[in-house]
Structure 1
């Protein structure tokens, strides 16, 4: 269990203090934080809760959302990403997860260029703060509203323009399991994998956003993907990240107990 991390969105009904104390009770050593939760609790208080519980922060989510219709809007997104970098550094994690953003219009090619330009502008500041940028490709069904970076290959194409200790990729099984080129792309990302997220793909999928399942409840061969990620040099924390209303509404301690059980069985 030394690699297990609770991604805070999995227990969305818990506030910052409840999530941190829940991890401590369950002997889960890592927690991945979300910026809106940090803002609700306050940056200093969030840091104190984590420190007092003896936890480590695996990542901060999220930066990104680079494309916008105007130059001023794009600059505002860069400014917000700089704040996200600062928050990650203050919270004690060196990984900022980038959900890169959708097109502001129908031009997906231009949106992808905006993502590339946004990352290029952000890298020097992130380096100065000791924070690495993890590009997370999202499933193609999210291309219109969340991210125009939809394959691990696209993410690596961008990451490889920078040093491995500056920009890498985040592998989330929910987003990449379907890719026929997945295992070759994981091997290609050797030394650049900055995070690994697990959940499951339920059949039939009940909701595009809120339809992720607990590991073992769906069709993803999670262990095979985990072994490939390990072989590509990733030895860091493994985050359980689940968007699912029924899981959110369940008692948090029960969710963590089930999470640990399924982690052992399927990850």
Structure 2
């Protein structure tokens, strides 16, 4: 199926595998793309991780993650910015032009100030990222993650922030798990035309019993995945589609079995 040429394994889906195992697994399963998580890269180091990717012939759809901009002190916000710069360098070295931003929670109760810090952090990071040929993809997270992962919780918020910069600097990442519920979703996808830097798929389990490991394989939940995919394409995005699923059942399965299931569900539901 033609759509499979866009399939990307987001590494967290096979958390049981290290980077080398995931890369070899993708090559064996003829999955052309991989999204690398920084903690997986750090196990091998940047140079060896780059060699592994090159040896398997994979393309890197994105690096996950930058962001986490808010902090209670100016010194910590600077350290966060420095870490984002390292992430930009890593993305460029690994051969991807997309750094996904999970923007970070409020260090206290002032969520408005934290959103201001996010914007300031991105503004400070843009020139460095641009110099390295890396675009910054703001990924809005579901509101249930506002307290511990991101104060950017709607695609509308992400669009508004991204629009303060040029489209070749800052865009948005559309993850169906985080945005499917939004009554403005399709309006905001259309608004993001020319700025969509990534598209992530999974499914929403009912009921949610573990917020971090809540995702399910496509087809096992309630999300209109194909409708969202078509809207994203109509907005001009035709790049890799990452399967990003945090789920203990999948992590307990052999990785090869996860990839086989992922490919099957991708064809049927994406």
TM bracket, shorter-chain basis: over 0.9
Partner residue, 2:246 = 243
2-side partners of 1:46 and 1:16: how far apart?
A: 7
C-alpha separation between the residues in 1 aligned to 2:214 and 2:112? 29
Moved over 3 A (4+): none
**CA deviation after TM superposition for structure 1 residue 207, in Å:** 1.1
Q: What is the correspondence of 1:43-82 to structure 2 with a 5 Å cutoff?
A: 43-82=46-85
Q: SS at 1:97's partner residue?
A: strand
Superposed CA offset, 1:211-257 (max 9, x none): 10000000000000000000000000000000001101101000000
Question: Equivalent residue for 2:189?
Answer: 186
Cα distance per residue 1:56-92 (max 9 Å; x no partner): 0000000000000000000000000000000000000
Aligned with residue 145 of structure 2, among 142, 146, 151: 142
Matches within 5 A, 1:105-144: 105-144=108-147
Cα distance in structure 1, aligned partners of 2:209 and 2:52 = 35
Correspondence for 1:164? 167
Who is 1:219 aligned against?
222
Query: 2:150 and 2:27 mapped to 1: Cα distance?
Result: 33
Q: Which residue of 1 aligns with 2:203?
A: 200
Normalised to the residue count of structure 1, the TM-score between the two structures is: 1.00
Q: How many residues align?
A: 267
Q: Secondary structure at the match of 1:2?
A: helix
The C-alpha deviation readout for 1:80-124, integer Å capped at 9, x for no partner, is: 000000000000000000000000000000000000000000000
Distance in 1 of aligned mates of 2:214 and 2:44: 27
Shift of 1:206: 2.5
**Please, which of 251, 255, 258 is the counterpart of residue 252 of structure 1?**
255
Aligned match of 1:9:
12
Query: What is the distance in 1 between the residues matched to 2:12 and 2:205?
Result: 18
1:31 paired residue number: 34
Counterpart-to-counterpart distance in 2, 1:193 and 1:173? 13
The runs of 5 or more residues in structure 1 that have no matched partner are none
Instruction: For structure 2, list consecutive stretches of 5 or more residues without a partner in the other structure.
Output: none
TM-score calculated relative to the size of structure 2? 0.98
Q: Using the alignment, how far apart are the partners of 2:206 and 2:143 within structure 1?
A: 17
Structure 1: distance between partners of 2:165 and 2:118 = 15
